[in-house]
């Protein structure tokens, strides 16, 4: 037993250091170099900038929208909501009173603005990360009337924009149909700037 331990010491210590250098330093830094060189946009977080070059967000990360003229993302449990340095799910169980009460309140708020229509599930459930950039096409179409009214646009115009924004599953089965909320809202503002009504 003592011989077993004694013969282990040098390889254990030396390999810890060598592997730490190779796997902890050389490997991630080499990939950082490759990423920055070949895919700078993705490697730096798919950031979106305005005309002046200021960062307004990331195309992969949800941000809060509260104004009626914008499409709203799913509710978020990341910090106080949409904190992209604090990703979090609600972690509420299926029979949770808190989950029931939250969904009930959110459904009521949506129905106050669009009575009679049933609310799509993803609009009143929090995502796993709290930063889900997408909503379902149903959740987008559900909001068309509100957005069109707030902008004073014909509904058909907004609807056509949502139609164009829907991303479909790869090969028909990989992934779900979805709409990127931030990109759609950017599109709305860009269209609005071109022709206000």
- Rounded Cα–Cα distance for residues 60 and 165 (Å): 15
Nearer CB in complex with other proteins: 105/156: 105
Residue identified by tokens 């992934």 is 175
133: Cβ contacts below 8 Å, ≥ 6 apart: 59, 60, 61, 62, 73, 180, 181, 182
Q: How far is the CB of 163 from other proteins (least distance, A)?
A: 17
Nearer CB in complex with other proteins: 29/156: 29
Q: How far is the CB of 62 from other proteins (least distance, A)?
A: 8
Q: How far is the CB of 143 from other proteins (least distance, A)?
A: 14
Q: How far is the CB of 153 from other proteins (least distance, A)?
A: 18
98: Cβ contacts below 8 Å, ≥ 6 apart: 92
Nearer CB in complex with other proteins: 113/156: 113
Q: How far is the CB of 158 from other proteins (least distance, A)?
A: 17
Q: Are 79 and 64 in contact (CB under 8 A)?
A: no
Strand partners, 166: 179
Tokens of 193: 């700037």
- Per the document, the length of the chain is 197
Nearer CB in complex with other proteins: 23/150: 23
Nearer CB in complex with other proteins: 87/145: 87
């Amino acid at each position: 037993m003592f011989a077993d331990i004694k013969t282990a010491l040098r390889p254990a210590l030396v390999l810890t250091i060598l592997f730490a250098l190779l796997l902890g330093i050389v490997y991630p830094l080499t990939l950082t170099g490759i990423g920055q060189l070949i895919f700078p946009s993705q490697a730096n977080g798919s950031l979106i900038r305005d005309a002046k070059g200021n960062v307004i967000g990331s195309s992969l990360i949800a941000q809060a929208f509260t104004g009626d003229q914008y499409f709203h993302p799913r509710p978020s449990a990341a910090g106080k909501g949409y904190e992209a340095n604090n990703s979090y799910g609600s972690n509420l169980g299926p029979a949770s009173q808190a989950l029931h009460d939250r969904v009930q309140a959110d459904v009521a708020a949506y129905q106050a603005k669009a009575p009679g229509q049933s609310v799509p599930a993803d609009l009143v459930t929090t995502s796993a990360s709290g930063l889900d950039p997408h909503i379902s096409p149903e959740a987008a179409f559900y909001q068309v009337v509100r957005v069109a009214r707030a902008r004073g646009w014909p509904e058909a115009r907004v609807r056509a924009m949502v139609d164009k924004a829907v991303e479909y599953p790869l090969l028909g089965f990989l992934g779900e149909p979805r709409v990127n909320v931030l990109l759609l809202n950017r599109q709305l503002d860009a269209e609005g700037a071109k022709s206000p009504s």
